[in-house]
Structures are given as C-alpha cells and as structure tokens.
Homo-oligomer: A and B are copies of this chain.
Amino acid sequence: MKKTTLKEIAETLGISISTVSKALKNYPDVSAKTKKRVIDLAESLQFTPNTFAQSLRSNESKTIGVIIPSMVHYYFSSILDAIIKESEKNGYMVIILQSNEDHELEKKQINLLLNKGVDGILISLANGTKDFQYLQKVIDYGIPLVLFDKINKLLKCSKVIINDIKASYDVVTYLINKGYKRIAYFRGDLNPQNSIDRFLGYKKALEDNGIKYDSSLVYLSPIANFDEGYANAKKLIEEDKIDVDAIYTITDLTAIGVINYLNEKNIKIPDEIAVFGFSNWFMSSVITPTLSSVEQNAYRTGEKSVELLFKEIDSKQKGEPFKHETITIDTELVIRNST
C-alpha cells in the first residue's frame, strides 16, 4: 500500500501539481470548481501530505525534543504528561530522551536533536552539567530552547522554575512555628541550582528565627533516593542526635526512606521526630504516616514550559525578535500526618 501524492491527484484530474497543492491549501487563485474536484478526490484517496517533503521544504519538523534525567520519576513523568498533551494540541509531536544524569550523554543527545531538526528543545539539566557550550550552540543555531526544573542561570534563554529558596524557607518556618527546634536537613548535591537553593532556604529560615545553623545536622544524599534517606536516618539515630525533633529532606523519596527507618525502629512520627519532604509525590499521600511535602505543580511546570517554547517558535516563524522569560511556578505546603 502506497501513500497518495499530489502528483497522482493531478494526473487523475488532468491538472497540474501546483494547482492541486494550492487547492488543498485554499489559495485564492484556484476556482471554486477546481477546489471542489481536488478536495473530493483527495478525501476519497485519504491524501495526507508527505511530512518528509514538507519538512525538507519548510525546514520545520513539527516535532520538539525533550531531555530529562529520568522518566521513571513521578515529578518528571507528570511534566512529560503536560508537555505531550500541550504539544499535541498545537500539532506537534514530542521526542523524549533520558540523560540518565550523564553529562556527556546529554551533550550527545542535544546534537542528536539538532541533527534531527526538531523545532525546539526542552531540557532539565543533568546534575553534573558544568560546561554549557553545547547549549549555547543551540541558542546560536537559533533553535528555541527552554530550561525547566534544573536550570543554569547563566544561559540566555527562557526558563521555568519554582522558587526553591522560598519553598524551602516556608517549610522550615512552618516547622519552627510548629515548635520544632532541632531540624536536620538531608540535602542534595550542591550542583543543580535547586539543590543549592533549597539548602539556602533552610539556612535562612533558621537564621531569621534566631536558630543557629548547625552543620552537624546536615546530611548529604547526592542522588536523593530511598536508600540514602534510610541510611542517613540510621546514621543520625546511631549518632545519638537525641535532640533532633524534625528531619527535612531534599525530596519525598528520601523522606520515605527516613520514615521507613523510623517506623522500623518504632520511633514515633511526628511525636518523636517529624518528617518533611519535597515534591509531593503521589506515594506520600498513601504511606504511613502520610508525608508532609511541597507541592511543586509539575503539570503546570510542563504546561508553562511548552507554552514558552511555542511562543518562541512562533516568533521565530514570524521573524520577530523574542524576549526570553523566566516563569516561576507557585508551590504550596501540603501538611499531612508526618508533622
């Protein structure tokens, strides 16, 4: 089975290819009668234009590329959900790549997408990413680029983020107001901006509330997973940090590791130790006890990211200049039984 082409329609009707093309695109210089003949035949043959040829001519693929660290992740899959749906509404398809937190792979994938001829790129950076030359290359090539979640402030392009400093500040302030005094923090690596910012928010809230920052209450969980949360909680308890009354973590998964350890040791949450997470994974609402967290509005982040990208693609098509924007997505504290 072969696809119908303009040529076939033209030959069948005894007219030229140009006329067929113009008829289907409703050009004014085709008579109503001819238009009808063309459209009728095109429909009966289920004609759809060959996208390869269209892309070659227009240099547009009607496809965008997305690079995320990992797909099996509540936050990212929610963002992708939004990106895919919004793109489809706009007649675009989405190619997804996973950097796997590997900086070199990310670099290669950017090049793959550029070669592929995508009309725009959305990316949440891998943690290790320090050299931004290849992203600058995307910008130089004039390909619309939007950074979301894990961004780099130095790049001149649009960005969608949350205010991590404020969100983190709010968490700690809430804990202090609840009466918790010795608040441990399980921080992430100091590489992606949001990891730094959450740590800064933690510190600032302590300071503003007259609590001295104590570095012995800060534990590192570089990949922010379940095991690290569990291990750090174990360490904390075994180090006899008996006065710690709350543990706040870089992300929910780590917090759930903490909860599991505390549950095992029969340490009462929140009576003996409270736990606060970040990102509001679905899981957090169904574990025991339910986990307080920060709703990051992943879906909205995805929506806004594509929105910015399409704005930029649009400007490019029209040859208009484009003003980069940075959108900050609102976050909210979700209070549950763990605090």
Residues of A within 8 A of B (CB): 1, 48, 50-53, 55-56, 59, 61, 63, 70-74, 77-78, 80-81, 84-85, 88, 93-98, 112, 115-117, 140-142, 226, 256-257, 259-260, 263, 282-283, 286-288
**CA–CA, A97 to B96, complex, Å?**
11
**CA–CA, A95 to B226, complex, Å?**
31
Contacting pair B88 A81 (CB below 8 A)? no
**CA–CA, A74 to B78, complex, Å?**
11
**CA–CA, A84 to B65, complex, Å?**
13
Which 8 residue pairs across A and B have the least CB separation, nearest first? Answer: A52-B56, A288-B288, A52-B55, A72-B77, A48-B115, A283-B283, A93-B95, A1-B141
Copies of this protein in the assembly total 2
**CA–CA, A336 to B121, complex, Å?**
43
* 5 pairs, CB–CB < 8 Å, chain A vs chain B: A51-B117, A52-B56, A85-B98, A257-B286, A259-B286
Which of B50, B59, B85, B117 sits near A117, CB closer than 8 Å? B50
Given contacts A72-B74, A93-B95, 6 further A-B contacts (CB under 8 A): A51-B116, A52-B59, A71-B81, A93-B116, A94-B95, A263-B288
Which of B56, B70, B112, B115 sits near A56, CB closer than 8 Å? B56
A326, chain B: closest CB distance, angstroms: 24
Of chain B, the residue at the smallest CB distance from A70 is B81
